[in-house]
Amino acid sequence: MPSRLKASALSRFVWLILVLWTLDLLIKWVITQQFNYAERLNILPFFDLMLVHNHGAAFSLLASQPGWQRWFFSITALVISIWLAMWLRRTPKTQTLLGFSLSLVLAGALGNLVDRVMNGYVVDYLLVYYPPYYFPAFNLADSVIFIGVVGLFIDFWKTEKAAKRDS
C-alpha cells in the first residue's frame, strides 16, 4: 500500500465505511423480506418501521418524474462518492473529525446508490412522527449522511475559528 494511502483518513476509516454500507444494505434486505409495501410496525408512540420506496431524492424530490431521475441521482451519487473517496485519501489520518464525517457521508451515499441502481428506488423504513406531523420515511444511509454532514459543519467551523485565531 502506498505510504500516502497509509497515512490517509481513508485507510483509517475504510472499515467504518464498509461496515455501515453493509449494515445499511442488510437492514434494507431484511425489511424488504419481512414487510409488505407500506406495512407499519409500531415500535414507540412516535416511531414505526415501515417499508416504502423513494423514487426521488431527499424528501421524495422529483419522485413523480417518469424515470429519468433514477439515472440522474445514480450518476450524481457515483460522482459524489468518487469525490468523497478522493477527499478522504487526501485527508491526513490525524484529521479525525473530518475523516469520520466524510466516511459517514460516503457510506450512506454508497448504500443509497446501490439501492437506486439495483431497484430504481431507495428503500426507506424508519418513520418518525408526532400526529398530525410526520417526517418523511428514511433509512440508515440517510441517517449517517445527516450525521456526517453535521460533523463536516462542525469541522469547518472549528477550522475557520482556529484560522481566525491564528491570524
Q: Give catalytic residues, as residue numbers.
A: 124, 142
Q: Taking the alpha carbons of 159, 1, 13, 25 in that order, is the dihedral positive or negative?
A: positive
Residues in the chain: 167
CA angle 95, 101, 107 (to 5 degrees): 125
Task: For residue 89, count other CB atoms closer than 10 A to its CB.
Answer: 15
Task: For residue 51, count other CB atoms closer than 10 A to its CB.
Answer: 21
What's the grid cell of residue 120? 430504481
Could you tell me if 46 and 129 are in contact, meaning their C-beta atoms sit under 8 angstroms apart? yes
- Give the span between the Cα atoms of 160 and 163, in whole angstroms: 5
